[in-house]
Amino acid sequence: MKRVGFSFKVKAEKLVEYKAHHQHVWPEMLAALRETGWHNYTLFVRDDGLVFGYFETPHSLQQAQSLMAVKEINTRWQEFMAPYMEDNARPDEMFQEWEEVFHLD
């Protein structure tokens, strides 16, 4: 499994709503993530809107995103989340991958 870390930015004034939506992610979206190999998917957020994401996958970040891109539910979720992002962009188009420099099992 590859460990993938990434970040993107949410509008600080939209953080409360953004967090609320992630307490109730659509079941179809959760199923699509599992089907396409996104495991241990976790999002962390700072008060300024910086989001750090982590997941494990048998694929690269780009491959994992490509597998999700063909899922209609992903398109709907990304468009639903776009108004919360800086520049009103889809979150999956804003991922900046982080380089792993240390891991302890």
Supply the residues annotated as catalytic: 22
Q: How far apart are CA 9 and CA 90, in angstroms?
A: 11
Distance between CA atoms of residues 1 and 82, nearest Å: 29
How far apart, in whole angstroms, are the C-alpha atoms of residue 61 and residue 12? Answer: 26
For helices 15-22 and 72-81, give the axis angle rounded to 10 degrees. Answer: 150
The amino acid sitting at 1 is M
Q: CB neighbours of 42 closer than 8 A, spacing ≥ 6?
A: 53, 54, 55
